[in-house]
Amino acid sequence: MTSQPLGPADYSKTPRYAGPPTFGLLPRIDEVEAERPGEKIDVKVIGIPFDAGVSYRPGARFGPAHIRQSSKLLRPYNQATNVHPFSWQQVADCGDLGVNPFDIEEAITTVEANADALRADGAKLLTLGGDHTLALPNLRSLHKTHGKIAVLHFDAHLDTWDTYFGAPYTHGTPFRRASEEGLIDMTSSMHIGIRGPLYGQKDLEDDEVLGFQIIRSDEYQFTSVADVVARMRKRLGDAPVYISVDIDVLDPAAAPGTGTPEAGGMTSRELLNSIRGLQGLNVVGGEIVEVAPAYDHAEVTGLAAAHVGYEILSLWAAENNGITAPSGPSGSALGI
């Protein structure tokens, strides 16, 4: 008989600030395996403290620990979507993956191999970065299982540039490499939250050829979250979706702790409701990257990133419970 999922630490016995250093105070994978031997782990959370691919301010290698620290106040009921992300599925924190900080290509190979291993039992993977270079090995892994992936990319930047100083693998190139390798669904992929100066018009022209549509940050102001969500759902359809969230998609007021901040970004409320609007779609993986705690204060960026992770977990919990469309107050407000 299947036992109940092993959930977060008991808040009535352990104060959150004294709880385990795991995402949302959730159990470690070894604890789950010991208490629920032979039973499925639905979602695995993995930290990848890697930032050798950054082009401006370093420090995202400390992102996983910061996101986990900031996640301690998360609670087990998502009132916005009427979902229980920790009891409707088994979630386990797998700790951090150590990768070579001096050899980007070796690090990419290591991440891909470990993603393959972690997903081999059918578990979904939530990655805490780390810089955006990590998207490429994660997509390589997912492609082996799902074929072409619809990338839903929340970011201030396109990340489809060719090279930096001749280097083909950086945090600004993962989606160009993924498109060139045939990993992405070029009829379903999108960038959300793009803004700021570019090198030239050709950046946008190249990006379109690589298979992406763009919803700019300003469009949240000019239209509405509901309109953006409707456009996302139409574009994504029933394709397998990978949610890639660069925390710099948020305005620096909401996420100062990142390496390449751009003014004019989204609010955390807009980002969270955009993710809630994906409920019912075929989301096969997710990541939160580019959290650099050295530039954060009062855990502002870490809190935003933790809540992004919580909403992605809520999508999977809803799927696990047979919910096929946006639900709860957020679903009603979105009108879907």
> Tell me: the pLDDT tens digits for 85-127?
999 999 999 999 999 999 999 999 999 999 999 999 999 999 9
- Please name the residues in contact with 315: beta carbons below 8 A apart, sequence gap of 6 or more: 275, 278, 279, 281, 283
What is the Cβ-side half-sphere exposure of residue 336, based on CA atoms within 13 angstroms?
A: 27
| Residue 159 marked in a binding site | yes
At residue 157, the 3 state secondary structure works out as coil
Mean pLDDT, range 8-34, rounded to an integer: 93
Asked if residues 179 and 210 have their Cβ atoms less than 8 Å apart, the reply is yes
Whole-model pTM?
0.97
Tokens 């855990």, located at residue: 299
At residue 201, the 3 state secondary structure works out as helix
Q: What is the pLDDT of residue 68?
A: 98
| Burial class of residue 31, CB neighbours in 10 A (0-12, 13-18, 19+) | middle
- Across the beta sheet with 150-154, what order do the strands follow? 91-96, 43-48, 124-129, 283-289, 241-246, 150-154, 189-194, 212-216
Determine the Cα–Cα distance for residues 67 and 50; give it in Å rounded to an integer: 14
Q: What is the pLDDT of residue 32?
A: 97
| Residue 246 marked in a binding site | yes
Mention the CATH class of domain 23-334.
alpha beta
Q: Which of 262, 261, 312, 320 is nearest to 291 (CA)?
A: 261
Tokens 């470690």, located at residue: 28
Determine the Cα–Cα distance for residues 121 and 41; give it in Å rounded to an integer: 8
Tokens 């799902």, located at residue: 146
pLDDT digits (tens, 9 = 90+) for 31-68: 999 999 999 999 999 999 999 999 999 999 999 999 99
Q: What is the pLDDT of residue 3?
A: 81
Residue 275 CA to its chain's centroid (Å): 10
| Residue 42 marked in a binding site | no
Residue type, 163: T
| Residue 157 marked in a binding site | yes
DSSP 8-state secondary structure symbol assigned to residue 6: P
Determine the Cα–Cα distance for residues 303 and 69; give it in Å rounded to an integer: 9
Asked if omega into 130 is within 30° of 0 (cis), the reply is yes
Q: What is the pLDDT of residue 319?
A: 97
Is the predicted pLDDT of residue 1 greater than 70, yes or no?
no
- Please name the residues in contact with 174: beta carbons below 8 A apart, sequence gap of 6 or more: 132, 133, 134, 135, 136, 139, 159
Helix ranges restricted to H, the chain: 29-35, 63-70, 104-119, 135-146, 174-180, 201-209, 219-222, 225-236, 268-276, 300-320, 328-334
Across the chain, mean pLDDT equals 96
Asked if residues 241 and 281 have their Cβ atoms less than 8 Å apart, the reply is yes
| Residue 185 marked in a binding site | no
pLDDT digits (tens, 9 = 90+) for 179-191: 999 999 999 999 9
